[in-house]
Amino acid sequence: MSYQIEISNEAAREIKKLPGYVRAEVRRLVRELGDNPYPPPARELQGKPGIYRLWVAGRWRMVYAIDDEALIVTIRRVRSKATIDYASA
Protein backbone atom coordinates (compact mmCIF):
# COMPACT_ATOMS: atom_id res chain seq x y z
CA MET A 1 0.00 0.00 0.00
CA SER A 2 1.56 3.27 -1.12
CA TYR A 3 0.90 6.64 0.47
CA GLN A 4 0.48 9.87 -1.48
CA ILE A 5 2.97 12.57 -0.45
CA GLU A 6 1.92 16.19 0.00
CA ILE A 7 4.29 19.01 0.96
CA SER A 8 2.92 22.07 2.73
CA ASN A 9 3.78 25.48 1.28
CA GLU A 10 5.80 26.29 4.39
CA ALA A 11 7.80 23.06 4.14
CA ALA A 12 8.43 23.66 0.42
CA ARG A 13 9.88 27.10 1.22
CA GLU A 14 12.05 25.62 3.97
CA ILE A 15 13.32 22.83 1.71
CA LYS A 16 14.40 25.35 -0.95
CA LYS A 17 16.60 27.09 1.64
CA LEU A 18 18.37 23.90 2.78
CA PRO A 19 21.95 23.02 1.81
CA GLY A 20 22.12 20.69 -1.20
CA TYR A 21 23.14 17.57 0.73
CA VAL A 22 20.19 18.04 3.11
CA ARG A 23 17.74 18.56 0.20
CA ALA A 24 18.99 15.31 -1.34
CA GLU A 25 18.42 13.47 1.95
CA VAL A 26 14.93 14.99 2.29
CA ARG A 27 14.03 13.81 -1.24
CA ARG A 28 15.25 10.29 -0.43
CA LEU A 29 13.31 10.17 2.85
CA VAL A 30 10.13 11.53 1.24
CA ARG A 31 10.24 8.74 -1.37
CA GLU A 32 10.68 6.17 1.40
CA LEU A 33 7.79 7.64 3.42
CA GLY A 34 5.50 6.91 0.47
CA ASP A 35 6.20 3.20 0.95
CA ASN A 36 6.55 3.17 4.75
CA PRO A 37 5.43 6.24 6.72
CA TYR A 38 6.51 4.57 9.99
CA PRO A 39 10.28 4.02 9.58
CA PRO A 40 12.07 2.90 12.78
CA PRO A 41 13.83 6.22 13.53
CA ALA A 42 10.56 8.23 13.30
CA ARG A 43 8.94 9.27 16.58
CA GLU A 44 5.39 10.43 17.22
CA LEU A 45 5.27 13.88 18.85
CA GLN A 46 3.94 13.89 22.39
CA GLY A 47 0.40 15.21 22.56
CA LYS A 48 0.09 15.31 18.76
CA PRO A 49 -1.37 12.03 17.50
CA GLY A 50 -0.55 11.31 13.87
CA ILE A 51 2.34 13.84 13.79
CA TYR A 52 5.87 12.42 13.52
CA ARG A 53 9.42 13.74 13.47
CA LEU A 54 12.33 12.26 11.60
CA TRP A 55 16.02 13.14 11.80
CA VAL A 56 17.51 14.32 8.50
CA ALA A 57 21.26 14.59 7.85
CA GLY A 58 22.28 15.04 11.48
CA ARG A 59 21.06 18.37 12.81
CA TRP A 60 17.90 18.72 10.68
CA ARG A 61 14.38 17.52 11.48
CA MET A 62 11.38 16.80 9.30
CA VAL A 63 7.87 16.90 10.79
CA TYR A 64 5.07 15.13 8.94
CA ALA A 65 1.47 14.04 9.43
CA ILE A 66 0.01 10.68 8.48
CA ASP A 67 -3.60 10.12 7.42
CA ASP A 68 -3.98 6.33 7.30
CA GLU A 69 -7.58 6.44 6.07
CA ALA A 70 -6.78 8.59 3.02
CA LEU A 71 -3.24 7.14 2.64
CA ILE A 72 -1.64 10.60 2.68
CA VAL A 73 1.64 11.75 4.25
CA THR A 74 1.91 15.54 4.57
CA ILE A 75 5.36 17.04 5.09
CA ARG A 76 4.77 19.99 7.42
CA ARG A 77 8.20 21.34 8.45
CA VAL A 78 11.90 20.82 7.66
CA ARG A 79 14.22 22.84 9.88
CA SER A 80 17.38 22.62 11.92
CA LYS A 81 17.01 21.08 15.36
CA ALA A 82 17.85 24.45 16.95
CA THR A 83 15.04 26.36 15.20
CA ILE A 84 12.20 23.85 14.83
CA ASP A 85 9.07 24.49 16.88
CA TYR A 86 7.21 21.22 17.36
CA ALA A 87 4.28 22.98 19.04
CA SER A 88 3.31 24.73 15.80
CA ALA A 89 3.80 21.63 13.64
Domain positions in the chain: 4-88
pLDDT averages per 10-residue partition of the chain, 89 residues: 94 96 95 95 92 92 96 95 75
Q: Residue 87: what pLDDT?
A: 73
Task: Report whether CATH 3.40.50.10070 matches the domain 4-88.
Answer: no
Query: What SS3 string covers the chain?
Result: CCCEEEECHHHHHHHHHCCHHHHHHHHHHHHHHHHCCCCCCCEECCCCCCEEEEEECCCEEEEEEEECCCCEEEEEEEEECCCCCHHHC
Q: Residue 81: what pLDDT?
A: 82
Q: What is the pTM of this model?
A: 0.90
Q: Residue 31: what pLDDT?
A: 94
